[in-house]
Amino acid sequence: MNSPAPSPPFVPSEVEVRGASAPRLRLGRTGAVVRGKLKTNAPLAPLVWFKSGGAAELLFEPADRDDLVQLLGGLDPQTPVMALGLGSNMIVRDGGVPGVTVRLGKAFAKIERVDEVTLRCGGGASGILVSSIARDAGIAGLEFLRGIPGTVGGFVRMNGGAYGREVSDILVGCTVVLRDGQVEQWSAERLGYSYRYSELPEGAVVVEAVFRGQSGDPSVIGVEMDRIAAAREAAQPLRSRTGGSTFKNPPGHKAWALVDAAGCRGLRIGDAQVSHKHCNFLLNLGNASSSEIEELGETVRRRVRSSTNIELEWEIQRIGVE
C-alpha cells in the first residue's frame, strides 16, 4: 500500500485564523499548534512611528519562545521572516511585507538580575525599561539605552548606540531563534559587531540578551538618564511622526551636518519633510506615503553626494514591497 503523501509545509497563504483574540493554527509539516496571536493582512502603519505603509501578510505575536520555534520550524524555507520591535527605525513600504512579521509582546519583555552588575532581558523589552531597571539595581553603564527608541531585539541586531556608547560595549551574549526554528546562544564576539551592524543572519529573532555594566549609585545613574532624556527632547523631533536617525554618520562626519550643508533642512515632498529641528530626521507631517518618505531620503542622498561626493548610507530599515 502506498504511503500517504506528506503534508505540505506551512506558508502564509494557507493560514486559517479562528477568532480574533486567540487564533489557532496547525502547521502542515509538524502538526504543532501555534498558541500566540496571529493575523493575516495585518496593517503595520499603526505599529511604526512613521504611521505609514502597507500590511503584513502574516503578523505573529508568539506566546513564548517555544511558540516561536514551532512556527518558524514549520514554515516553508522560502517564506521571509522579519522581526518588528517598536517600529521606531523603519519605513514599511506601501505594498506591505510578504511572509511572516514577528512581533515580540509582553511575554518577551521580562528583565531579571543575574548578579550585581548583570541583567538578562527579553527581546521585547524597551531601552527605557532596561535602563530604568538597571538604575534601580545600581547598575551603571546602561544609561545610554534611555536614548534608544527601540527594543532589545532590534538594538542587539543593529548594535544600537547613543551618546557615545553602543550595545557592543555592554552585551555579554544573546539567545537567537534562527529562521529554521533552531535556538542558539551567540556571544558578543560571534556577532561581529561594527557600526550599526551585526552578523546575525536574515530571519533570525533575538529573544533574549544579557547586558553587563558596573556598580553605580542609583541617584547618579538617574541624573545621567535625565540628562540624556533632556538632550533628546531638546535636539530631536520626538513628538512627530518620524523614524529616528535616517542616515549613518560617515567616518569623520555627522550626517545631519552634511544634510544641512546640502541645503536640505526643511526640504519637502508631499507631506514628507526633512526636520527643521534635526535634519537627520524625516517627518510625516500628516498623510505622507512611505514612497514619499523614501523618495525624500533618496533626494537628500543625491544632494549630499552632489555637493560633497560623500555617499550617505541609510540607517533606517526599509522593508516590504514598493
Q: Can you tell me the distance from the alpha carbon of 18 to that of 255, in angstroms, rounded to the nearest whole number? A: 48
Q: How far apart are CA 30 and CA 70, in angstroms?
A: 8
Cell of 172: 555579554
What is the C-alpha to C-alpha distance for residues 182 and 184, in angstroms, rounded to an integer? 7
User: Active-site residue among 126, 132, 198, 245?
Assistant: 245
Catalytic residue among 143, 166, 224, 315: 315
CA 124 vs CA 86, 87, 102: distances in Å: 9, 12, 11
List 65, 135, 146, 196, catalytic entry: 196
Return all residues near 64 (Cβ < 8 A) that are at least 6 apart.
35, 107
The whole-angstrom separation of Cα 210 and Cα 197 is: 18
Are 205 and 81 spatial neighbours (Cβ–Cβ below 8 Å)? yes
> Is 315 one of the annotated active-site residues of the chain?
yes
Task: Answer yes or no: 143 catalytic.
Answer: no
Our answer to whether residue 224 is catalytic in this structure is: no
Cα-atom radius of gyration of the chain, to the nearest Å? 21
Q: List the catalytic residues.
A: 196, 245, 315
